[in-house]
Chain A
């Protein structure tokens, strides 16, 4: 908690310079056209009802088809069944439909959709199609960049389906939810750019919430993060997710993210 407070204070008092490449929320901006990004997102979350940790690794490939449209494919690997097993995958697309840019600022809107499949057992009320549930999610995201401070917010509808016929979604649980996020990001270093080789350091705080539509059960998490941009091409995220309030059953709400990201520009001439 102390770290979160410290980060919030730092964000509040530092003069602005920033970034919108958030850890949990994807901003309204897309990856560049004709670029390919590879990404390995790892998370280690502490189990609440049993000893040990739940580890996930999600390799991702992101492709920018043109300036407005991007696609992403993700594989879900986890240790939920003691050893590392590939449990599923997902496809994601985002379309930027509005953009108002000025010098050092922009406001953008995008619509996104994701479809995931997963064959693991269903073990909580929280619906999470990133590595836990089969299902789909669709929503919109708005991102504002003002003089280097980025603020992003999204609202989405998420519906869980059966995790194959072996693990059907329990009838007793609400199978669809509304998700909402609010993210703040700020570039702390460098104060003044000298070259592309300079490492950039971003600080971020994200608020991530969900309400199950059928019964109103909800949670709200905070995710403070530090991010390093290396050589203007690679990215390392280190984030911590902490549950603030919840009225639903979640088996491992708190933990850390470790994300590695690399962009290949202009893959075809």
Chain B
């Protein structure tokens, strides 16, 4: 019984910490890696469209870039996009998100370039392992080696670069 209670505590804690990585995202631009065919691309397209938070997906088949428009006032974790692309059998090469600035102002979103954001909306790239190509990740591990949280590869925090 005590064991079950412990598991329950872990589960609740896990759910709670996971929900913290959710942000109010309006748009996601995903570049997928590892594919060149339209049937492969369609597999990602269908995975993304099946997400209840997604309003529309537009694809550039030549670059395998998916522009995902989310429903208004949706909160979603960047990890959801990664899971969808990987379910289709591929990987994320770059993920650029647009969200409400207030919703990423917490310890789960670590801004690596120490930029301050004045505007209401922010566009940022996720730099963690699995959200950039393997080559880029190697480069980033060198340039961000002072950031312990980056090298730790925790799944419940995100390192972001502000683009606007």
Contacts and interface: CB of A to CB of B under 8 A. Distances in A.
B54 interface: no
B47 A266 contact: yes
A229 interface: yes
Report whether over half of chain A's contact residues are helix, strand or loop; otherwise say mixed: loop
A121 to B, nearest CB: 39
Interface string A18-51: 1101000000011111110000000000000000
Contact of A103 (B39, B86, B87, B133): B133
B1 interface: no
> Which interface residue of A30, A33, A233 has the most chain B CB atoms within 10 A?
A33
Contacts of A64: 89
A33 B87 contact: yes
A172 interface: no
Interface stretch (B12-20, B27-35, B104-112, B115-123): B27-35
Given A32-B87, A187-B37, A193 B61 contact: yes
B145 interface: no
Contacts, number: 103
A104 interface: yes
A99 B47 contact: no
B140 interface: no
Contacts of B91: 99, 101
> Interface size bucket, B side?
20 to 34
Given A192-B62, A269-B50, A200 B90 contact: no
Contact of B42 (A34, A194, A233): A233
Interface string A190-228: 001111101010000000000000000000000000000
A216 B50 CA distance: 52
A232 interface: yes
A32 B35 contact: no
Contacts of B80: none
Given A67-B89, A232-B41, A266 B34 contact: no
A193 B33 CA distance: 17
A67 B87 contact: yes
B42 A196 contact: yes
B2 interface: no
B146 interface: no
B155 interface: no
B43 interface: yes
B14 to A, nearest CB: 20
A263 B86 CA distance: 18
Contacts of B35: 104, 106, 145
A235 interface: yes
A103 B41 contact: no
Given A64-B89, A145-B34, A148-B36, 8 more contacts: A18-B36, A19-B37, A21-B39, A32-B43, A101-B34, A106-B33, A192-B62, A193-B38
21 contacts: A17-B36, A18-B36, A32-B46, A32-B88, A33-B47, A33-B87, A66-B87, A67-B87, A99-B34, A101-B34, A101-B90, A104-B36, A187-B36, A187-B37, A193-B61, A194-B61, A196-B42, A196-B59, A198-B38, A265-B42, A266-B47
Interface of A: 17-19, 21, 29-35, 64, 66-67, 96, 99-106, 145, 147-148, 187, 192-196, 198, 200, 229, 232-233, 235, 263, 265-266, 269
The 9 closest A-B pairs by CB, nearest first: A101-B34, A193-B61, A265-B46, A232-B42, A106-B34, A33-B87, A32-B43, A148-B36, A232-B38
